[in-house]
Amino acid sequence: MSEMINVKIDNIPVTVEKGTTILEAARLAGVKIPTLCYLKDINAIGACRVCVCEVKGARALVAACVYPLDREGTEVFTNTPKILEYRKTTVELILSDHEYNCPSCVRNQNCELQALAYELGCNAERFKGEKSNYPVDDSASYLIRDNNKCVLCRRCVAACKEYQSVAVIGANARGFDTHIGCAFETTLANNPCVGCGQCITVCPTGALREKDEIDDVIRDIADPDKYVIVGTAPATRVAIGEEFGYPMGTNVEGKMVAALRRLGFDNVFDVDFTADLTIMEEGYEFLDRLTNGGVLPMMTSCSPGWIKFVEHYYPELIPNLSTCKSPQQMFGAVCKTYYAQKLGIPAEKISVVTIMPCTAKKFEKGRPFQSAAGVPDIDHVLTVRELARLIKRKGIMFNSLPDEQYDAPFGIGSGAGLLFGATGGVMEAALRTLAEVLTGKELKNLDFTAVRGIEGIKEASYTLPVNGKDTVVKVAVASNLANARKLMDLVKEGKADYHFIEIMTCPGGCVNGGGQPIKDAYTRNTEDIRAIRAKAIYDTDAGMELRKCHENVYIKELYDSYFEKPNSHKAHEILHTQYVARGH
């Protein structure tokens, strides 16, 4: 049993486990200590010095995020005049080397440095003088790094290393010249970055941002020769409301559809539809591998950061990847083939825009083998944050909009397709279909709870009839690439007996993607964003009538009239892809 001690935080008694940091003890006492570099579980380095406190009897101020409380009766003071002045000076010194063009910064009013400067009453001009001048790295297709706004908190470095085990960025040089960059000052485009955008979501300022495509979308909508289609990813509906003041995890699907319609899109569709289509293709691909001696374990291909990770770090496992395009790419492919034919419009005159919780989707649209109609399947990708900015720019009063429904035919998706937004969701959607296809019986319980949850790695076994006999099918689910690496090492060493593996790049899945609304560190440290948004997805699925991909009538019609059957030759030409081994 852990030893408990009694301490005081600003004269407030609190009992904590021995070794608890001052920061955590203060939270338990109802006291908020400001931080700039600290991020729970991945970045406790005491670098920014904003969280310093006084410990009675100590000779110097201490960093609350790393100082352990190990003595009974310790007294801590977090907001004395001395401390407040120290914090104010610290932030003013940070501002002295910061490009604070706040009004035009993408993080204006959602910047932790800006908020701290305001709360502490800082004078941004107090230490005005020479500033660093760094080149902006816009080499990648999905994000921009501007070190002129960096505060050297190193959260991005920690996210890249701890969440994703990629570690392509770090602190370069020393002293006043210290800055965040890639090895040998190379650009992001020339490094094995997977494009996940987790660095953006943890950055306290505007030093990292997605590469904006808003103007491109506005231009296409205004072009009379363009037929512009938009599709929204599953996780977007439980997050975009946060940009308009709704509580975290509120499902605002109807208002999002209404906003998109008012933006001028010719069709407002749901990528849940092609998530259903993905399960049909991926599920039958898995059955073919399982019954005909194909490469196992088969691994999902929905998450583009994960695909790029395999191409860079595990190219020998490329044959294990499903050949299915992601739901985003399938969406563009069917819009520019099947739907273009129905409309009687040439594919090159159709612009397909997707709203994604992900920055890697911006890279994915430019991958090779993603042009089913001879033109790119997807033209533009907006993150949830970009869509919110576009709605505001156009003067649309989001909160006052009525709830509206998606257009048919690609606006109808199942609850199983919706589950793609959470870790384990692709696996659960596949299992719902595989179980019924193999047994020929309707499932009484559609909830495969063993693959749900925010744990990094989940395993489960299911007995299914394969080739006329009961077979134990073993599955594994992982979210974030550090966990994926553990599974891939087992597969590479021949120590994994799984049949089917689902990987999502971001911790908790797409609900916590690199393109979702950004939450400040205090919120990230005290609330589980992943679980809150995922709950909204599961709750919505539970209340839907259509909960299985294979029962979507529009999916059936698509196969009957166009693809013939899952994994047909035509389906492979349009809905499947290839991968490229990359160096690292």
Could you give the domains of the chain? 4-79 (3.10.20.740), 98-210 (3.30.70.20), 215-575 (3.40.50.1780)
Can you give the three-state secondary structure of 25-89, one letter per residue?
HHHHCCCCCCCCCCECCCECCCCCCCCEEEECCCCCCEECCCCECCCCCCEEECCCHHHHHHHHH
On whether the CB atoms of residues 423 and 277 are closer than 8 A, the answer is no
Q: Residue 305, SS3?
A: helix
Residues 6 or more apart whose CB falls under 8 angstroms from that of 375 comprise 336, 347, 348
- Angle formed at CA 554 by CA 550 and CA 556, multiple of 5 degrees: 50
Task: Give the ranges where 365-510 is alpha helix by DSSP (H).
Answer: 384-393, 415-418, 425-439, 481-492
Question: Given pLDDT bands bounded at 50, 70 and 90, which one contains residue 39?
Answer: very high
- Could you read off the pLDDT of 491-514 as tens digits, one per residue? 999 999 999 999 999 999 999 999
Query: What is the reported pLDDT for 558?
Result: 97
* Cis status of the peptide bond prior to 81, with omega within 30 of 0: no
The answer on pLDDT for 186 being more than 80 is yes
Cα-Cα-Cα-Cα dihedral sign, residues 382, 388, 391, 393 = negative
**Separation of alpha carbons 356 and 360, rounded Å:** 9
**Separation of alpha carbons 266 and 223, rounded Å:** 12
Tokens read off for 496: 């994994």
- Could you read off the pLDDT of 45-73 as tens digits, one per residue? 999 999 999 999 998 999 999 999 999 99
- Could you read off the pLDDT of 354-405 as tens digits, one per residue? 999 999 999 999 999 999 999 999 999 999 999 999 999 999 999 999 999 9
Can you give the three-state secondary structure of 509-542, one letter per residue?
CHHHCCCCCCCCHHHHHHCCHHHHHHHHHHHHHH
Question: Given pLDDT bands bounded at 50, 70 and 90, which one contains residue 224?
Answer: very high
Query: What is the reported pLDDT for 106?
Result: 97
**Separation of alpha carbons 270 and 279, rounded Å:** 15
C-beta neighbour count of 329 within 10 angstroms: 31
- Residue type for position 38: Y
Average confidence (pLDDT) over 263-282: 98
Rg of the chain, C-alpha, whole Å = 25
Query: What is the reported pLDDT for 456?
Result: 86
| % of residues, the chain, pLDDT over 90 | 95
- Could you read off the pLDDT of 403-420 as tens digits, one per residue? 999 999 999 999 999 999
- Residue type for position 119: E
**Separation of alpha carbons 187 and 145, rounded Å:** 10
Question: Given pLDDT bands bounded at 50, 70 and 90, which one contains residue 583?
Answer: confident
On whether the CB atoms of residues 205 and 94 are closer than 8 A, the answer is no
C-beta neighbour count of 581 within 10 angstroms: 11
Query: What is the reported pLDDT for 511?
Result: 97
**Separation of alpha carbons 313 and 42, rounded Å:** 22
On whether the CB atoms of residues 515 and 440 are closer than 8 A, the answer is no
Q: Of 309, 313, 354, 310, nearest to 330 (Cα)?
A: 354
**Separation of alpha carbons 108 and 206, rounded Å:** 8
Average confidence (pLDDT) over 103-107: 96
Query: What is the reported pLDDT for 1?
Result: 65
| % of residues, the chain, pLDDT over 70 | 100
- Could you read off the pLDDT of 133-168 as tens digits, one per residue? 999 999 999 999 999 999 999 999 999 999 999 999
Q: How far is CA 369 from CA 47, 327, 424, 580, 584, in A?
A: 45, 15, 27, 10, 22
CA dihedral 549, 551, 553, 554 (to 10 degrees): 10
Mean pLDDT (the chain) is: 96
229 — phi, psi (to 5°)? -110, 140
The answer on pLDDT for 467 being more than 90 is no
DSSP symbol at 563: I
Query: What is the reported pLDDT for 366?
Result: 97
- Could you read off the pLDDT of 302-319 as tens digits, one per residue? 999 999 999 999 999 999
Residues making up the chain, counted from first to last: 584
Query: What is the reported pLDDT for 174?
Result: 93
CA dihedral 528, 530, 531, 535 (to 10 degrees): 140
What single string gives the DSSP state of each residue in 174-222? -GGG-EEE-GGG--GGGTT-----HHHHH-SSSSEEE---HHHHHHHHH
Q: How far is CA 282 from CA 434, 437, 460, in A?
A: 10, 13, 19
